[in-house]
Chain A
């Protein structure tokens, strides 16, 4: 089994004394889905953003797709990682001045130097897979939140990534729009995409994830299979958190 992601004792503090991440270690195997859960401010975003170099860290070591990075910033390695790792954000972050198709083909054409027609064809194919190819010529603000987020997923997929990162992809959506995005992610997981997902969607995590990492105050409290985590969490802290989620 090929290991895609190895994190060893990742530590980071924004201000002295308070650790946003505290000796975080985990591994992820190719084709598996890791769900990260934890209360607000526990460091979930910080952790997932270190994986593609949007956030630096102070100590520890990270191995992404065989590329090793540590606290010394190496722009070239980070560029290499970003070319092979896609990311989807909570607020979609589409480029408002470009059409949907231009949003999707920008990186394939300019980063991977692919032909425009080829990139557009592939983009249209991915859009039709998501059922939103009719919007290709529109601008992001003409789409609903759920549609925009699916475009953001397509934009990440257009680079044929080997690993996909999701930071709360459904938190900014209306409840009735959440499922269309989760369905898309489910399909990806079924097709064997390796994913790291920060989410509060318990049903999704139960069904799709292979491992759940529970984070609190920057510390890994436990890493368990979803069956165990959701029915019989080993730690008091995790159980409390799950109770709280159930209530909401």
Chain B
């Protein structure tokens, strides 16, 4: 045993020796770099544990989570977040039953109406105006709604772009190209300021839904391009086989083209999802109280003046954890799909 450990030690040292060469110049460089890393790490830890005043986070946790949702009703957004985490957990660790896996997408879609009901109220729950939605709940709400609306719209756009009907094909190409050449913030401004002007008198869409419409319009164009890449990767022989079986155009699209292109586009779609999640922070400029918006409004409170480093480090950590989780979820999904359908 002792010999083994000694051997390991020698191996380890050798490893270091080969990795870090001891020529004078690189030795100097390495020492400088390592000491910079270590000292900044120490400084950071020192700041995090001794200097920083985390009370700005601790005492505002419910604001960060639910915004100004009435405190008696905060169990509602909490319940929704718990449901979402539960679905995510099933997605990652749950059993591999085929019927469950097949219905997970439907379960995800189903989480949206549940969320709307819990947030908005009515039908036995006290109504809560969307002005009072906020924090992480609002960030996640906007993300999930936008991605679930833009996915079918993106698929539709991608299919129309290959359509044999001239007008449909031209329109979707035009739409995709326009959206891809306009900055997101412009589309969001358009959503907030111009959508109300286009609506008939008396019809009003509140800010949250205008934001979701803006994101959906924008992201669907990018999703359409990802799906188009997937569609192009399907060999012509697949269509011939489907045609020779007598399947019609609609059936070929539904059973052959869409599933295969989604499979190919999945990594790109994940990137869209993560990008969308991060971009919801732009809504803080337009006055929504999502995560960043809440952070800004807390910082505007004289009680917490100057504590912006704590707040932004905290927010960065929350974004980082959730983005990592999403990336992991989709890796899992990818693995699952390719483990039995390795193509």
Chain B 242-265: CB-based contact to A (< 8 A → 1; otherwise 0): 111111100100011001100100
| Cβ–Cβ contact B251 & A93, under 8 A | no
Judged by a CB distance under 8 angstroms, whether A43 is at the interface is no
Judged by a CB distance under 8 angstroms, whether B241 is at the interface is yes
| Cβ–Cβ contact A97 & B247, under 8 A | no
| Cβ–Cβ contact B247 & A111, under 8 A | yes
| Cβ–Cβ contact B246 & A97, under 8 A | no
Judged by a CB distance under 8 angstroms, whether A54 is at the interface is yes
| Cβ–Cβ contact B259 & A97, under 8 A | yes
Number of A positions contacting B (CB below 8 A): 28
| Cβ–Cβ contact B343 & A54, under 8 A | no
| Cβ–Cβ contact A82 & B343, under 8 A | no
Question: B341 — which chain A residues lie within 8 A by C-beta?
Answer: 96-97, 139, 141
| Cβ–Cβ contact A95 & B246, under 8 A | no
| Cβ–Cβ contact A93 & B246, under 8 A | no
| Cβ–Cβ contact A54 & B342, under 8 A | no
Chain A proximity of B337: nearest CB distance (Å): 8
Chain A 210-239: CB-based contact to B (< 8 A → 1; otherwise 0): 000000000000000000000000000000
Chain B proximity of A109: nearest CB distance (Å): 10
Q: Name the interface residues of A69-110: CB closer than 8 Å to any CB of B.
A: 79, 82-83, 85-87, 89, 91, 93-98, 106-107, 110
The chain B residue sitting closest to A95, CB to CB, is B256
* Contact among B240, B246, B248, B255 with A159 in the assembled complex (CB-CB below 8 Å): B246
A95-B256, A96-B343, A141-B342 are contacts. A54–B243 as well, Cβ < 8 Å? Answer: yes
Question: A89 — which chain B residues lie within 8 A by C-beta?
Answer: 237, 240-241
A93-B240, A141-B343 are contacts. A83–B255 as well, Cβ < 8 Å? Answer: no
A139-B340, A142-B340 are contacts. A97–B263 as well, Cβ < 8 Å? Answer: yes
Residue from B248, B255, B259, B263 with most neighbouring chain A CB atoms (10 Å) = B255
Judged by a CB distance under 8 angstroms, whether A22 is at the interface is no
Q: How far is the CA of A164 from the CA of B2 in the complex (A)?
A: 74
The chain A residue sitting closest to B240, CB to CB, is A54
Chain B proximity of A144: nearest CB distance (Å): 15
Judged by a CB distance under 8 angstroms, whether B39 is at the interface is no
Judged by a CB distance under 8 angstroms, whether A155 is at the interface is yes
Q: Name the interface residues of B17-41: CB closer than 8 Å to any CB of A.
A: none
| Cβ–Cβ contact A107 & B247, under 8 A | yes
Q: Name the interface residues of B318-343: CB closer than 8 Å to any CB of A.
A: 340-343
A95-B238, A141-B341, A141-B343 are contacts. A54–B260 as well, Cβ < 8 Å? Answer: no
Question: A159 — which chain B residues lie within 8 A by C-beta?
Answer: 245-246
| Cβ–Cβ contact A93 & B237, under 8 A | yes
Question: B243 — which chain A residues lie within 8 A by C-beta?
Answer: 53-54, 82
Chain B proximity of A96: nearest CB distance (Å): 5
The chain A residue sitting closest to B337, CB to CB, is A97
Q: Name the interface residues of B223-249: CB closer than 8 Å to any CB of A.
A: 237-238, 240-248
Q: How far is the CA of A110 from the CA of B255 in the complex (A)?
A: 10
Q: Name the interface residues of B247-287: CB closer than 8 Å to any CB of A.
A: 247-248, 251, 255-256, 259-260, 263
| Cβ–Cβ contact B238 & A111, under 8 A | no
Question: A156 — which chain B residues lie within 8 A by C-beta?
Answer: 245
Q: How far is the CA of A110 from the CA of B240 in the complex (A)?
A: 17
Question: A95 — which chain B residues lie within 8 A by C-beta?
Answer: 238, 241-242, 255-256, 260
A–B Cβ pairs within 8 angstroms, 22 of them: A82-B245, A85-B244, A87-B244, A89-B241, A93-B237, A93-B240, A95-B238, A95-B256, A95-B260, A97-B259, A106-B245, A106-B255, A107-B245, A107-B247, A110-B247, A110-B255, A139-B341, A141-B342, A155-B245, A156-B245, A159-B245, A159-B246
Q: Other than the known A95-B241, A95-B242, what 11 A-B pairs have Cβ atoms closer than 8 Å? A: A53-B243, A85-B244, A87-B241, A87-B244, A89-B241, A93-B238, A107-B245, A110-B247, A141-B342, A142-B340, A159-B245
